[in-house]
Amino acid sequence: MSVVSGTIYGVEESIKSKLVAAGATSRDRAVSPEDANLDMQEQNWLSYIAGGLFARVKKAAGNLYYVAN
């Protein structure tokens, strides 16, 4: 179980850093996965990582994502 949680943590951190680098730090500044240069693995995990109530990665309208403060 710890290997899986470590993988998820690593992918989540990678997604967050790429979204911040793309300037997606609020709902108004949300970007698409392509604009954030997310690779295929990150895109596959994106809906899972952005799906939680307390998740730091949030989904905006139109398949756009951002990092919540």
φ, ψ (nearest 5 deg) of residue 39 = -80, 180
Among left, alpha and beta (phi > 0; psi -120 to 50; other), residue 54 is alpha
Q: How far apart are CA 19 and CA 51, in angstroms?
A: 16
Rg over CA atoms, the chain: 11
Out of 1-15, 16-30, 38-52, pick the least confident. Answer: 1-15
Predicted structure pTM score: 0.90
Domain boundaries of the chain, sorted by first residue: 2-67
30 Cβ neighbours under 8 A, 6+ residues apart: 24, 58, 60, 64, 65, 66
Q: Could you report the per-residue pLDDT of 32-61, keeping only the tens digit for each? A: 999 999 999 999 999 999 978 899 999 999
